[in-house]
Structure 1
Amino acid sequence: MQYLILFLTTLASAIQLNINSQDDVKSAASTIAYDMMTVYTGNQSGQVPGLLPGGLNCNPNNPGTYCWWEAGAMFGSLINYWQYTGDTSYNEVTSQAMQWQKGADDNFNPANQSRSMGIDDQAFWAFTAMDAVESNFPAPAGDAPSWLSLAQAVYNFQQDKWDTTTCGGGFHWQVFSINAGYNLKNAVSNGGNFQLAARLAYVTGNSSYADWAEKVYSWMDQSKLMQHDPTTGVLYIWDNTDSNNNCTDQTNFVWTYNYGIMLGGAAYMYNYTNGSDVWLGRVNEILNSTYSLFFPQEYGGNIMSELQCETQGLCNQDQRSFKAYLARWMAVTALLVPSTAATIVPKLAASAQGAAGQCDGGSNGRQCGMEWFTATWDGSTDVGQQMAALSVIGSTLNRADIAPLSQAKGATSESDPNAGQNAPTDPTKEHGPVTTADKAGAAILTILVVVLVVGGSIWLVI
């Protein structure tokens, strides 16, 4: 399928972008990727491959510290960049990062992160492994585990974390109960596992993965995480619900990445089921709600915006990257569900043009900000903004020949359905008994999380 190339007037910016020219788009993407990777130090002597600065002790509210999961997402964006442009410059460092961070049990639960591991954190590294599978990214050398087996190991590890003792099911945010926020059952963890299962079903053709994806989606759809507004037709995918009160309410935040995750998973399931009307309906509901919430009419209706925090200047390190994932999975949806391309393409094209207009700031005069609806740099820059701009600009090179591969359609990564099943599920097996100091530290972190959530809720009401 060849996309209709839309003409948009090129905005004046340090990164010039004419989306009618593939060479121009590739040049812009190359510049943005280069600037993004200037932050990465994991390939330098004495540093840890796969980690961005602060990756061993991150704080999303502390500028310059990036959490482990965002590094995993960044390497996924570099695989997408390679697909779009053919530029292999970052393939070796991407492969090194994935192999280094896979952990001893090959399930992306490495010792340097396992104590504070989240279901969603693992999912983003698993997404990157699936990006490698679906693109036939060069296989790791020697007897290293295949990309597909790494994703399967995450799936196998996470299945044991499904909890029916509260809320009728669902995944907790955190892997271990001593961690702050364990009580939350959130959209990104449940949606992340759903998308992973959907992609494994698509790639392998194994119905057990599809059955699990259906199970997770159905639980989310019946929980407080997903709320259908009968008046407006908007589906609200809320950020989290609390198992401490049996998930009887929810935190009313909506984020682009939650919609992107659910949209992508539904698109894979639609394709896997050979065009199921049920999954088509779910794709369209999520997509139309995405348009209503994150492509505001005040900016013309075609430019993506992070509703919750962008115009207020309140987005933290994590949140600045969220639009990258929505852009990526909108592009994938246009390939897997062809009927959606007619509405997706114009929105990605206009957002790409807007993103380029924001890439005129920072110390080199071309770093990317967040507010794509204006060509005046918003004064912000970090890995998240670079990744989002890279993803949306790269998406304009989307084409049929880079549609996700499956084993039936040329994917070569070897499957291991039993991967990672011997991984320990009890943190004390790897880390020793939980001490009083551990519990005290967890309590302090819980208090901090509560303060942040309450503060955010007050801001939202105001």
Structure 2
Amino acid sequence: MLYYTGNNSGQIPGNLPQPYYWWEAGAMFGSMIDYWYYTGDPTYNEVTTQAMLWQVGPNQDYMTPNQTKTTGNDDQSFWGLAAMTAAEVNFPNPPENQPQWLALAQAVFNTQVPRWDPTTCGGGLRWQVFPFNNGYNYKNAISNGCFFNLASRLARYTGNATYAEWADKAWNWMRSISLLDDAYYVYDGSDDTINCTRLNRIQWTYNAGALLLGAATMYNYTNGSQIWQERTEGLLKATDVFFQDGIMFEVACEPVNRCNVDQQSFKAYLSRWMAATTKAAPFTFNAIMARLRPSAQAAAQQCGGGDNKRTCGMKWTQGATWDGSFGVGQQMAALEVVQANMIAQSRAPVTNSTGGTSPGNPAAGTAGTALFERVTKGDRVGVGFLTTFVLCLFLGMIWWMIID
């Protein structure tokens, strides 16, 4: 959190300074929600809630007007997934007159459904939301994987089958263009100008993680169906490509020292979603912890760098020799993999029927939907008085016109 300046005077809550993009701030606050979930330490709750609410946008759907030049479906999703986690772990609810965690997650889902594009590639979400942004023609794994992840978790939390149907649809589409192949490897994306006939076959940790938790959640939602168990097992086995001697690494860029600012954070999300997978699909626990324990030990060794001797590097496979890199991504990845090792002692994510307290709004984010507020008894009384007053005024005007 030392990198975060949004709570300083004159700064915008929820934003990270350059060179970090908006999406990574949403991902970071997801980590702080996880931190509270694992530790119970409320130190960062107030600043996290402030940031999460400041960035909701005018329609309370994480479509912030001042981020249009960089808003992808994946960017919006990372904020929505943070809100989803807040609902699942009963992170303290915002004030009643503010948007609520579950409703925010539903709003993100509802804004993305109309963007599903069957005109090319047989379906799928584009990477970018707006046509004027580079990447609008790219249909990628992280945008569709996050949509799948969110849909599955909304299905589990609410019991609403519509979310599960969209999760199935997203999964089937990714399989149809081999973005997810028979061996459960997840590739980065393809271009709709060629109808997704050729793939960018780079593999990233966060793509695999997004699908892994989504599949595990569908296993949970379907009460342990064999097909979702097989899919979860397949995705978990395929993550072996991201582990070297049992330690997580970013295979596409780490060995050649080419990881950019975004990519330096990706291991955080595989760690986060692996840990959550053990709760959704407990049969994965031993296999996942066999990956997370040595990775956490290695990450901790990389956190003795810098002048403060607690700066984390990226190359966990390098042992105690700090690799010289530093930043939000490195700190977040180390935090997530270390705290993920507390998952066995942590309570299971809740649902609407198992203690969840976050108010929802199934119509959040849809056109014509009023900004979500919980209606109180006082609100209803006030509306009643207002209605009576307006009716009397209207009748008085009619009477005045009649007698004039």
TM-score by length of 2: 0.89
Q: Deviations over 1:101-138 (max 9, x none)?
A: 00000000111113431000011000100110001111
Partner AA of 1:323 in structure 2: K
Match of 1:269 among 218, 235, 243: 218
Q: TM-score, normalised by structure 1?
A: 0.78
Residue aligning to 1:419: 364
Specify which structure has the bigger relative contact order, considering alpha-carbon pairs within 8 angstroms and separated by 6 or more residues.
1
Per-residue displacement from partner, 1:385-436 (whole Å, max 9, x unpaired)? 0000000000111126422111111111011000010279xxxxxxxxxxxx
Equivalent residue of 1:112, what SS?
helix
DSSP-derived class of the 1:360 partner: coil
- Bigger drift between 368-377 and 73-82 goes to 368-377
Mark the runs of 5 or more structure 1 residues left unpaired by the alignment. 1-36, 55-64, 229-233, 425-462
SS of residue matched to 2:304: strand
Whether 1:46 aligns to 2:20 is no
Deviation at 1:179, TM superposition (A): 1.2
Q: Secondary structure at the match of 1:182?
A: coil
**In the comparison of the two structures, how many residue pairs are matched?**
368
SS in 2 for 1:271: helix
Residues 184 and 235 of structure 2 are in contact (CA less than 8 Å); yes or no, is this contact kept in structure 1? yes
Amino acid aligned to 1:295 = F
Compared with structure 1, are the counterparts of its residues 185 and 372 closer, same or farther at alpha carbon in structure 2 (3 Å cutoff)? same
CA RMSD of aligned residues (A): 1.2
Q: Aligned runs of 1:385-404 on 2, under 5 Å?
A: 385-399=330-344, 401-404=346-349
Aligned AA (2:279): L
Q: Percent identity?
A: 54
- Aligned partner of 2:352 in structure 1 is 407
CA distance in 1: counterparts of 2:215 and 2:90, whole angstroms: 22
- Mapped partners of 1:273, 1:352: distance in 2: 32
Q: Distance in 2 between matches of 1:270 and 1:227?
A: 19
Which whole-Å CA distance do the structure 2 matches of 1:354 and 1:115 have between them?
37
- Structure 1 pair 319/39, CA: closer, same or farther in 2 (3 Å)? same
- How far off its partner does 1:311 sit? 2.0
Q: What is residue 324 of structure 2 aligned with on the other side?
A: 379
The answer on whether the counterparts of 1:224 and 1:249 sit within 8 Å (CA) in structure 2 is no
**Aligned partner (choices 334, 349, 361) of residue 305 of structure 2:** 361
Query: C-alpha separation between the residues in 1 aligned to 2:231 and 2:206?
Result: 17
- Greater mean alpha carbon deviation, residues 162-171 or residues 371-380: 371-380
- Cα 1:290/1:150, change in 2 over 3 Å: same
Closer/same/farther in 2, CA of residues 384 and 423 from structure 1, 3 Å limit: farther
The aligned amino acid for 1:288 is K
Q: 1:287 is matched with which residue: 236, 239, 242?
A: 236
Moved over 6 A (4+): none
Q: Secondary structure at the match of 1:185?
A: strand
Contact 1:368–1:380 under 8 Å retained in 2: yes
For 1:173 and 1:140, the matched residues in 2 are separated by 30
Partner Cα distance (2:272, 2:3) in 1? 22
Q: Is the 8 A contact 1:335 1:400 kept in 2?
A: no
Q: What is residue 106 of structure 1 aligned with on the other side? A: 60
Does residue 70 (structure 1) correspond to residue 24 (structure 2)? The answer is: yes
